[in-house]
Chain A
Amino acid sequence: MFGFVFIAALAALAFAGINFYGVKRMNQGTDRMIEISGAIREGADAFIRHEYGLIAKIAVLIALALGIVVSWYTGVAFILGAVMSGSAGWIGMKIATISNVRVSNKARETGSIGETLKVAFRGGSVMGLSVGGFSLFGLALIYLVFGQFFGQLGQEQLLIKANWLGITFIPFTMTVSGYALGCSVIAMFDRVGGGIFTKAADMGADLVGKTEAHIPEDDPRNPATIADNVGDNVGDVAGLGADLLESYVGALISSVVLASYMFYTNLTAASGSISYDLVSHLLVYPLIFAGIGTISCMAGIAFLLVKKISDHPHHELNLSTWISALLTLIGTGIFTWFYFSGQDITALGFRLGALSPWFAAVAGIVTGILIGQLAEHSTSFDFLPTKQISEASREGTALNITQGLAVGMKSVFFPVFVLAGAAICANAIAGLYGVAMAAIGMLSFVISTVSVDTYGPIADNAGGISEMSKLDPSVRIITDQLDAVGNTTAAIGKGFAIGSAGLAALSLFASFLYAQAMPNDTDGFTLNLNFINTMTLAGGLVGAALPFLFSGILIEAVAKAARKMVQEVRRQFREIPGILTGEAKPDYTTCITISSAGALAEMKLPALISVLTPLAGGFILGADFVGGMLIGTTLSAIMLALFTANSGGAWDNAKKYIEQGHHGGKGSDAHSASVVGDTVGDPLKDTVGPSLDILIKIMAVISLITVSVFQDYNLVTWISSLIK
């Protein structure tokens, strides 16, 4: 079975390689196009190099701490996760900065939307396939090396063991948790760093270039325009890829950890014990499920790349995604039936027979689609909520902001309602393991969703290059059409990331409670979290407040970097008088440096908060406090993530609706108000929202890894023992 997973992962990476070089071989166009895309590429490369250099130092420190306090294999797995996540982000960013100019040139050479879409999607698929391939390859390596070679998947190792500090855990759960944590920490840095970079540049370019100097979007006379395009690559591509890779791995490992603890805590149960054979199936099942999803997505991507493409990009991208999803459903359904047939599954709470985990996964897929559709309803100008924001803009900025807040807040309820329904449904079908499978199901065709999501920023960048290179307006019309589709798909992708985080967090939380089991807890273990307990309630309160602190720090970080950018762009217009007449060239490099320095300086604190808060809470106030804190953080972070993503998206599209010639169109007072709304929403939707789902999982995994330490060693217990 591992062979299949390896083959699927390597096939995905090989396909990514083929598409990478396929795109790279294409013509880059005119000298001007090459010059501009070169500047974007150099800026993105320089930022990623600095960012990864900083992350590497922090990652080594965390790995060492894990290696010493928990186990050496947790530390090694952490590094492996970090390398896999970093590799996917780096390759995605590379291909995005290679594809952008070729997309622009394809539009220039062919004048065909379909042919241009193919290049953008081929570039996006490299990111998608890298996310799927690297995450699965790393996990397969973990299974092979630690599970098989070091025997952690053996019956005698699936037990709670104590390390040299007396800390107890099941070894394999610590290994996969370390791997997931490595992915999560990289994702946090990529998302936060990229988010700060891109929004600082974007706001600087808009607030001075567009609003004060009246320069149109992507005009080469704007000093921040290259930094803005660099930001699309480091934030919307590398950040997004690392984010969804982390979500994917988080969902996969949550089921593995859960199954391990369910097995151990029922070892000697008089009734309903889980056999080793069954738990072996449960441990490998998610990987094969993901492998089938990988192969299915490759088929969906290949289908789009070989077929004759129409001039309807939304339809073509949807078709590719639906093919991937359908093949995944069929393939995993058949596999599940054969895999669990004949197994005694009563102890797991599988209520729909052998297909129970598959049905739970289907519930997850349906939930993901519903959340995505609800996100589209809240953020697309084809629907009333966003149109209402556009309309309110006619009465001024304050009402644009007020209406956007209302839309964002209202948009939280139904996705959460759907998510709650999915959790109940998945649990009813296949118990807590079913909840984990629902998260996996939601992300089972992540390769396709990331491919489509990455295509958007590539098309956006291609539009910028076309504009700056003074290509024929017809080229810009093509890239604008492709970009518009990308905006919708991005909102749907965020829905999947947030939804899966909610479900994965629930199963990780169950694992957190299971991980408090003692070596003698083999005769059933009651998952118990008492919210009447003052510690738990206090933890819940603090946890619920944490995402607000985290979001505030992120917004402040963007504002600080954006202010510096605004000052720099103003300085350049003031001190280099020939910029607007085209007689002098702006200093693009300084703007890139400002965004880069701002991101690198500001990204450490939010990332450290996510890692250190559960540790501080646990070592001071104990496991009950952390349990409450995880629930509090998960609940408020999901609400806040949906609110920020949807309100920001709605403000953005409300502005676009006006820019299409509604409510006075460009230059109207309504437009001015909508520009302010969009600027307010920018850091919400592109920095805060996407970081919150990572916050949830980092805290859950850190707590899971360390709970066995701080449930015994914490300040409150120590003081209590002194008093006694």
Chain B
Amino acid sequence: MSEMHYYLTLFPTESLIASMLDPDKFGAYMTTSSKRGSHERLVFIELDGGFSGDFDWNYAKERCVPHRNGEPKHSVYLSVYRVLEKIPFSALRTMYLTTPDGRTLGLEKSAFPADRPGKPYHVYQELCPVQPLVVSSLAPGAFGEYIVNGESKISLPALCYCDLKVIDLDDLEHTGHIGPMYDHNLGHLIECIAAVTERGKVTKTLDRTFAGNFRFQIVNDGFALVNKKEKAWYAMPSEEELTSKYYDWSRSAMII
């Protein structure tokens, strides 16, 4: 009998799912499922289940069983609302990034890196529970703390986000593979940068609904998860490592 897995999907939608599929197959099933005919990117994390009383783990055990023909159960939704904030980060295991054609890359949890000073601004894609594109003067660690500490009106109980590659805006020819990020509202991006670097704003929203244009190829250092008590970090491999070790995924993600 197949093993039961618990997955926290962070992008494009937030949910907790029990499944009999291993992460690779789960990612492919979620992104390329034949019935929907859609091809989405997926970010999800495998969890250790049974950690608190917020979720109905027994329901998962009852429903997540093989079909009559012996096929494994693909998905049993346990929750689709305010999930991330109820998950202790100690239960987080590997994060998976699945491309629209169903290739999955696993990222291991690691120590949250110390913020490096020096960069005048950062661009963040918030992934869960909200998905704006934001320019900020804060480094990744400080940005996460700022969002969850409750001191600002723009505050969340928990957040998953990633920092994005920043290009030289005076050279829009030699950009590397950055997808459509800089194709939209370049003028507004420049205004947002000016707002955080010259006018002292901490964060400035660049786009309230950019999620459809999010690409893995533009992720810079990695993915961060924060809540008021904890932080978790999933580092993105270097391009060289991706090419040599994860060639199929890298091609699929249009990184190479």
- A667 interface hit (Cβ, 8 Å): yes
Q: Which residue of A lies closest to B29 (CB)?
A: A581
Cβ contact within 8 Å between B32 and A581: yes
User: Which residue of A212, A216, A668, A669 contacts B251 across the interface (Cβ within 8 Å)?
Assistant: A216
Q: Scan B215-256; emit 1 where CB is below 8 A from any A CB, else 0.
A: 101000000000000000000000000011001100110100
Cβ contact within 8 Å between A661 and B34: no
Minimum C-beta distance from B39 to chain A (A) = 5
Which residues does chain B contribute within 8 Å of A216, judged by CB atoms? 101, 251-252, 254
- A3 interface hit (Cβ, 8 Å): no
- B183 interface hit (Cβ, 8 Å): yes
Cβ contact within 8 Å between A214 and B101: yes
- A620 interface hit (Cβ, 8 Å): no
User: In the docked arrangement, what's the CA distance between A221 and B248, Å?
Assistant: 12
Q: Which residue of B lies closest to A673 (CB)?
A: B183
User: In the docked arrangement, what's the CA distance between A391 and B101, Å?
Assistant: 28
User: In the docked arrangement, what's the CA distance between A663 and B178, Å?
Assistant: 9
Looking at B113-121, B135-143, B167-175, B190-198, the stretch in contact with chain A turns out to be B167-175
Which residues does chain B contribute within 8 Å of A473, judged by CB atoms? 243-244, 247
- A577 interface hit (Cβ, 8 Å): yes
Q: Which residue of A lies closest to B253 (CB)?
A: A667
Q: Which residue of A lies closest to B250 (CB)?
A: A473
Which residues does chain B contribute within 8 Å of A519, judged by CB atoms? none
- A215 interface hit (Cβ, 8 Å): yes
Q: Which residue of B lies closest to A672 (CB)?
A: B180
- State which residues 625-669 of A face B: CB under 8 Å: 661-669
User: In the docked arrangement, what's the CA distance between A668 and B29, Å?
Assistant: 26
User: In the docked arrangement, what's the CA distance between A214 and B98, Å?
Assistant: 12
- State which residues 32-73 of B face A: CB under 8 Å: 32-34, 37, 39
- A213 interface hit (Cβ, 8 Å): yes
* Contact A667 to B180, CB < 8 A, known contacts A574-B37, A581-B32, A662-B173: yes
Listed A/B pairs (13) with beta-carbon separation below 8 Å: A213-B101, A214-B39, A394-B183, A574-B37, A577-B34, A580-B102, A661-B174, A663-B173, A664-B178, A665-B176, A665-B179, A666-B217, A669-B180
Q: Which residue of A lies closest to B24 (CB)?
A: A581
Cβ contact within 8 Å between A669 and B39: no
Which residues does chain B contribute within 8 Å of A227, judged by CB atoms? none
Q: Scan B159-189; emit 1 where CB is below 8 A from any A CB, else 0.
A: 0000000000000111111111111100000
Which residues does chain B contribute within 8 Å of A215, judged by CB atoms? 101, 252
* Contact A580 to B174, CB < 8 A, known contacts A665-B179, A667-B217: no
Most A-side CB within 10 Å, residue of B25, B99, B102, B243: B102
Minimum C-beta distance from B103 to chain A (A) = 9
* Contact A221 to B175, CB < 8 A, known contacts A214-B252, A574-B34, A669-B183: no
Cβ contact within 8 Å between B254 and A667: yes
- A670 interface hit (Cβ, 8 Å): yes
Total A-B contacts with CB atoms under 8 angstroms apart: 85
Cβ contact within 8 Å between B183 and A670: yes
Cβ contact within 8 Å between A581 and B180: no
User: Which residue of A581, A666, A670 contacts B102 across the interface (Cβ within 8 Å)?
Assistant: A581
- State which residues 70-106 of B face A: CB under 8 Å: 99-102
User: In the docked arrangement, what's the CA distance between A554 and B25, Å?
Assistant: 44
- State which residues 379-403 of A face B: CB under 8 Å: 391, 394
User: Which residue of A219, A470, A573, A668 contacts B183 across the interface (Cβ within 8 Å)?
Assistant: A668
- B130 interface hit (Cβ, 8 Å): no
Cβ contact within 8 Å between B179 and A581: no
User: In the docked arrangement, what's the CA distance between A669 and B174, Å?
Assistant: 15
User: Which residue of A213, A574, A668 contacts B179 across the interface (Cβ within 8 Å)?
Assistant: A668
Cβ contact within 8 Å between A667 and B215: yes
- Interface residue SS majority, chain B: loop
- B28 interface hit (Cβ, 8 Å): yes
User: In the docked arrangement, what's the CA distance between A391 and B172, Å?
Assistant: 9
Cβ contact within 8 Å between A661 and B175: yes
Minimum C-beta distance from B81 to chain A (A) = 29
- State which residues 651-697 of A face B: CB under 8 Å: 661-670
Minimum C-beta distance from B188 to chain A (A) = 16
Q: Which residue of B lies closest to A394 (CB)?
A: B183
Cβ contact within 8 Å between B247 and A664: no
User: In the docked arrangement, what's the CA distance between A477 and B181, Å?
Assistant: 28
Which residues does chain B contribute within 8 Å of A391, judged by CB atoms? 173
Cβ contact within 8 Å between B177 and A667: yes
Q: Scan A463-487; emit 1 where CB is below 8 A from any B CB, else 0.
A: 0000000100100000000000000
Most A-side CB within 10 Å, residue of B28, B29, B33, B177: B177
Q: Scan A193-228; emit 1 where CB is below 8 A from any B CB, else 0.
A: 000000000000000000011111001010000000
* Contact A664 to B182, CB < 8 A, known contacts A214-B39, A391-B173, A580-B28: yes
User: In the docked arrangement, what's the CA distance between A394 and B184, Å?
Assistant: 10
Cβ contact within 8 Å between B32 and A665: no
- Interface residue SS majority, chain A: loop
User: In the docked arrangement, what's the CA distance between A573 and B101, Å?
Assistant: 11
Cβ contact within 8 Å between B176 and A214: no
* Contact A662 to B247, CB < 8 A, known contacts A214-B100, A214-B101, A215-B101: no
User: In the docked arrangement, what's the CA distance between A161 and B99, Å?
Assistant: 74
User: In the docked arrangement, what's the CA distance between A666 and B255, Å?
Assistant: 8
Cβ contact within 8 Å between B29 and A665: no
User: In the docked arrangement, what's the CA distance between A577 and B39, Å?
Assistant: 13
* Contact A661 to B176, CB < 8 A, known contacts A214-B252, A473-B243, A581-B28: yes
- State which residues 188-218 of B face A: CB under 8 Å: 215, 217
Cβ contact within 8 Å between B176 and A580: no
Which residues does chain A contribute within 8 Å of B174, judged by CB atoms? 661-662
Cβ contact within 8 Å between B173 and A668: no
User: In the docked arrangement, what's the CA distance between A394 and B217, Å?
Assistant: 18
Which residues does chain A contribute within 8 Å of B251, judged by CB atoms? 216
4 smallest CB-CB distances across A and B, nearest first, come from A665-B177, A577-B34, A666-B254, A667-B179
Which residues does chain B contribute within 8 Å of A665, judged by CB atoms? 175-179, 217, 254
Since A219-B101, A581-B29, A669-B183 are in contact, a sample of 12 more A-B pairs with Cβ atoms closer than 8 Å, ordered by chain A residue number, is A212-B39, A213-B100, A213-B101, A215-B252, A581-B102, A661-B174, A664-B175, A664-B181, A667-B215, A667-B217, A667-B254, A668-B183
User: In the docked arrangement, what's the CA distance between A574 and B28, Å?
Assistant: 15
User: In the docked arrangement, what's the CA distance between A333 and B32, Å?
Assistant: 66
Minimum C-beta distance from B22 to chain A (A) = 12
Which residues does chain A contribute within 8 Å of B34, judged by CB atoms? 573-574, 577
Which residues does chain B contribute within 8 Å of A213, judged by CB atoms? 32, 39, 100-101
Minimum C-beta distance from A700 to chain B (A) = 46
Minimum C-beta distance from A511 to chain B (A) = 52
User: In the docked arrangement, what's the CA distance between A380 and B252, Å?
Assistant: 26
Cβ contact within 8 Å between A662 and B175: yes
Which residues does chain B contribute within 8 Å of A214, judged by CB atoms? 39, 99-101, 252
User: In the docked arrangement, what's the CA distance between A663 and B176, Å?
Assistant: 8
Minimum C-beta distance from A226 to chain B (A) = 18
Most B-side CB within 10 Å, residue of A212, A214, A670: A214
Which residues does chain A contribute within 8 Å of B248, judged by CB atoms? 470
User: In the docked arrangement, what's the CA distance between A473 and B251, Å?
Assistant: 10
User: In the docked arrangement, what's the CA distance between A580 and B243, Å?
Assistant: 21
- State which residues 212-254 of A face B: CB under 8 Å: 212-216, 219, 221
User: In the docked arrangement, what's the CA distance between A269 and B251, Å?
Assistant: 74
Which residues does chain B contribute within 8 Å of A667, judged by CB atoms? 177, 179-180, 215, 217, 254
Minimum C-beta distance from B226 to chain A (A) = 28
User: In the docked arrangement, what's the CA distance between A667 and B179, Å?
Assistant: 4
Q: Which residue of B lies closest to A472 (CB)?
A: B247
Minimum C-beta distance from B23 to chain A (A) = 13
User: In the docked arrangement, what's the CA distance between A669 and B32, Å?
Assistant: 23
Q: Which residue of B lies closest to A573 (CB)?
A: B34
Minimum C-beta distance from A659 to chain B (A) = 8
Minimum C-beta distance from A580 to chain B (A) = 4
Which residues does chain B contribute within 8 Å of A661, judged by CB atoms? 174-177
- State which residues 167-213 of A face B: CB under 8 Å: 212-213
User: In the docked arrangement, what's the CA distance between A573 and B248, Å?
Assistant: 20
Which residues does chain A contribute within 8 Å of B100, judged by CB atoms? 213-214
Minimum C-beta distance from B156 to chain A (A) = 28
Which residues does chain A contribute within 8 Å of B244, judged by CB atoms? 473
